[in-house]
C-alpha cells in the first residue's frame, strides 16, 4: 500500500503535509522533514513514474531530511 502524506500544489514548492495520529514526536519530526523535502525537491506524482524513479526520490528525500537532523 502506497501512502501519500504530502500533496503538492500546482505551482511553486508548496503543498499540504498530512501527519498520521499516534506517532511519537520523533517519528512526526522525521516524517515532516522527509515530506517537506518531497514537496521542495520533487514535482512529479508517484502514480506516473516507475518503481526505480520512486525509490530514487525516496532516497533523495531521506538524505536531504537527514541534513535537517544534524546539529
pLDDT tens for residues 18-47? 888 888 998 888 888 888 888 888 766 666
Cell of 68: 535537517
Nearest residue to 14 via CA among 47, 32, 45, 36: 36
Which residues are 6's β-sheet partners?
A: 17
Q: How confident is the model at residue 69 (pLDDT cuts 50, 70, 90)?
A: confident
pLDDT of 1 higher than 60:
no
pLDDT of 2 higher than 60:
no
Cell of 27: 517519528
Asked if 62 and 41 touch (Cβ cutoff 8 Å), the reply is: no
Lowest mean pLDDT among 1-5, 55-59, 66-70: 1-5
Q: How confident is the model at residue 16 (pLDDT cuts 50, 70, 90)?
A: confident
**Distance between CA atoms of 43 and 15, rounded to whole angstroms?**
11
Amino acid at each position: 500500500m502506497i501512502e501519500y502524506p504530502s500533496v503538492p500544489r500546482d505551482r511553486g514548492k508548496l503543498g499540504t503535509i498530512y501527519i498520521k495520529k499516534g506517532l511519537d514526536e520523533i517519528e512526526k519530526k522525521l516524517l515532516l522533514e522527509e515530506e517537506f523535502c518531497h514537496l521542495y525537491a520533487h514535482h512529479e506524482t508517484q502514480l506516473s513514474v516507475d518503481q526505480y524513479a520512486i525509490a530514487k526520490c525516496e532516497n533523495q528525500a531521506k538524505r536531504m531530511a537527514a541534513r535537517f537532523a544534524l546539529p
